[in-house]
Amino acid sequence: MKVLNTRLITPRLCGLLLLIALPLVSLLGLMTGPVFIPLADILSISLSGDGGNSQEKLIIEIIRLPRVILSLLVGALLATCGALLQGLFRNPLADPALIGVSAGASVGASIVIVFGSMFTAGGLLLGLSAISVGAFAGAIIASVIIFRLATGPQGTSVATMLLAGIAISALAGAATNTLSYLADNDMLRRISLWQMGNLQGASWDRVGLCALTAAFLAVLIPREAGALNAMLLGESEARHLGVNVEWLKRRLIIYSALGVAISVAVAGVIAFVGLMVPHVIRLLVGPDHRALLPLSALAGAILLVAADALARVVITPAELPVGVVTALLGAPFFLWLLVVQRRRT
């Protein structure tokens, strides 16, 4: 006889803990970096508008604050989209990379880096560099191709989507490799750094763009929680529970492609946040999407701010790409997950 299913904490307690952790981790993110800024100075700068010294004030206003907010938003977007896709694929191991967004974004970014001279005339668009625009376009194109491949007269098959996602990702990987081969040393370095993800390019424009996307998704995604729960039973079961499954699948794919594409455009490929965060939340409070989605957003935000703070201090004065930090944390976790799941079945 197996033991009773005891969830570790209630959703309410989990939400409370995360809401307490969020400002603390954010403050930590503001404090850490090549120049350490004490808590007292941060408080006086934020409360009175002056205090501290002018250098610290500049660092906070121009560098750290947008960077922390961008990390919060990107982390929240990635984790929420991961939760959406795991619900859509009914597989707790699904990841935003599955719909080809990351691979497509890599091709887009690499094209811009390698053939960049052609794009520089365009300048910045909404605070995004040409590389970000390329990444966003690549991400959207890849996910549209995969979605079209998986959609036939019978509707969208998530199984086909999975396979198409793998194939398109492989194809995109080959394209990125070809571009890397053509690239000179400087381009090569930029391509590989971009693929590791980093939040160095944080600016208020990017924060605005991300905040807009996050706000848009924050209005739309919670409405799908009930239907996503029904989807976990199976597509036909969800249909019998009154869910219009085909439209739901479309909406979920659009939301997650948009969320992940924006994140990739502003911060490069950041691995494992979308996989790891919803999974941990599910272990803590169970799979109910009404709790899972908001809690994943909070936890994803906290995780990315913490990972980014870590990335800034590990090898000061240089900094690690944040994607490396999340992967260093994420890969062992993923392996542990596989082992545990194997033992369970």
Partner 1 sequence: MLKIDSVGLTVSAVPLLDNISIDCPRGSVTALMGPNGAGKTSLLKVISGEHKASQGRVEINRQSREEWKPADIAQFMAVLPQSSTLEFAFTSEEVVALGRTPHATGTVRDAEIITAALAKVDASYLAQRSFVQLSGGEKQRVQLARVLAQIWDHFEYEGEYEGEHEGDAPTDGILLLDEPSAAFDLAHQLMLIDIVQQISARGVTVVMVMHDLNLAAKCADQMVFMNCGHCTAVGTVTELLTPELIKKVFSVDAEVITHPVQGTPMVVV
Backbone angles phi, psi at 125, to 5 degrees: -120, 115
Choose the stretch contacting partner 1; rule: CB under 8 A; options: 127-135, 169-177, 206-214, 281-289. 281-289
Does 158 participate in binding partner 1 (rule CB under 8 A)? no
Does 236 participate in binding partner 1 (rule CB under 8 A)? yes
Does 5 participate in binding partner 1 (rule CB under 8 A)? yes
Does 250 participate in binding partner 1 (rule CB under 8 A)? no
Total binding residues toward partner 1, as defined by CB under 8 A: 26
Q: How far is CA 272 from the centre of its chain?
A: 8
Residues 6+ apart with CB under 8 A from 185: none
Tokens, residue 92: 């707790």
Q: Where are the alpha helices (DSSP H) in 198-321?
A: 204-220, 225-233, 235-240, 245-267, 273-285, 289-313
Give the contact letters, 72-91, x = binds to partner 1 (CB under 8 A), - = no: ------------------xx
| Interatomic CA distance for residues 117 and 178, integer angstroms | 18
Does 234 participate in binding partner 1 (rule CB under 8 A)? yes
H/E stretch holding 151: strand 151-152
Give the contact letters, 175-214, x = binds to partner 1 (CB under 8 A), - = no: ----------------------------------------
Buried b (16+ CB within 10 A) or exposed e, 193-205: ebbbbbbebbbee
- Three-class SS state of 97: helix
- Tally Cβ neighbours within 10 Å of residue 148: 11
Does 276 participate in binding partner 1 (rule CB under 8 A)? no
Q: Cis (ω within 30 of 0) for the bond into 11?
A: no
Backbone angles phi, psi at 326, to 5 degrees: -65, -35
| Interatomic CA distance for residues 166 and 162, integer angstroms | 6
Identity of the residue, 62 or 340, whose beta carbon is nearer to partner 1 in the bound complex: 340
Residue indicated by tokens 């969320």: 259
Chain positions 86 to 145 lying near partner 1, rule: CB under 8 A, are 90-92
Choose the stretch contacting partner 1; rule: CB under 8 A; options: 63-71, 109-117, 167-175, 243-251. 243-251
- Three-class SS state of 50: coil
Residue indicated by tokens 């970014």: 109
H/E stretch holding 145: helix 130-150
Closest CA to 107 of 82, 137, 77: 137
Does 222 participate in binding partner 1 (rule CB under 8 A)? no
Does 242 participate in binding partner 1 (rule CB under 8 A)? yes
Choose the stretch contacting partner 1; rule: CB under 8 A; options: 74-82, 106-114, 196-204, 227-235. 227-235
Give the one residue of 28, 63, 250, 288 binding partner 1; rule: CB under 8 A.
288
Identity of the residue, 103 or 281, whose beta carbon is nearer to partner 1 in the bound complex: 281
The least CB distance from residue 344 to partner 1, in Å, is 8
DSSP-assigned beta bridge partners for residue 125: 128
The least CB distance from residue 2 to partner 1, in Å, is 5
Does 240 participate in binding partner 1 (rule CB under 8 A)? yes
Give the one residue of 144, 171, 239, 328 binding partner 1; rule: CB under 8 A.
239
Does 230 participate in binding partner 1 (rule CB under 8 A)? yes
The least CB distance from residue 250 to partner 1, in Å, is 15
Q: What one-letter code names the amino acid at 157?
A: S
Does 237 participate in binding partner 1 (rule CB under 8 A)? yes
Give the one residue of 4, 47, 159, 318 binding partner 1; rule: CB under 8 A.
4
Give the one residue of 226, 254, 280, 333 binding partner 1; rule: CB under 8 A.
226
| Interface ranges with partner 1 (CB under 8 A) | 2, 4-5, 90-92, 226-227, 229-230, 232-234, 236-237, 239-245, 282, 286-288
